[in-house]
Amino acid sequence: GQNIDQPTEMTATEGAIVQINCTYQTSGFNGLFWYQQHAGEAPTFLSYNVLDGLEEKGRFSSFLSRSKGYSYLLLKELQMKDSASYLCAIMDSNYQLIWGAGTKLIIKP
């Protein structure tokens, strides 16, 4: 079966660093995506990994290990506006996106 696991909720402090993990088991793999979704809004694209390693984009970085079925999203210098849900999604062998349930990130001053 297809399965994507990520923590339901995390709390972090403004200015700090937080790592959101995602583990997966899917039928085939054509890339892993991270999206940010603020309450009441549509998801917005953050990052894409298809090869092992770290992709850095400003304050956000995403890591992938295909052999371990594991990814993380690293957020640095946290700001209050980073409070949102973070969705991990896998593109499977049929090029369909399989979505995780999302991690709600709460930033405290």
Partner 1 sequence: GAVVSQHPSWVICKSGTSVKIECRSLDFQATTMFWYRQFPKQSLMLMATSNEGSKATYEQGVEKDKFLINHASLTLSTLTVTSAHPEDSSFYICSASGQGLDHQPQHFGDGTRLSIL
* Residue 80 backbone phi and psi in degrees, to 5: -60, -35
> Does residue 87 belong to the site contacting partner 1 (CB under 8 A)?
yes
> Does residue 3 belong to the site contacting partner 1 (CB under 8 A)?
no
The residue whose two tokens read 């890339």 is: 31
* Residue 82 backbone phi and psi in degrees, to 5: -80, -5
Nearest approach in angstroms of CB 15 to partner 1 is 27
The residue whose two tokens read 């499977």 is: 92
> Does residue 106 belong to the site contacting partner 1 (CB under 8 A)?
no
Contact set with partner 1 (CB under 8 A):
31, 33, 40-45, 48, 87, 89, 91, 95-97, 99-102
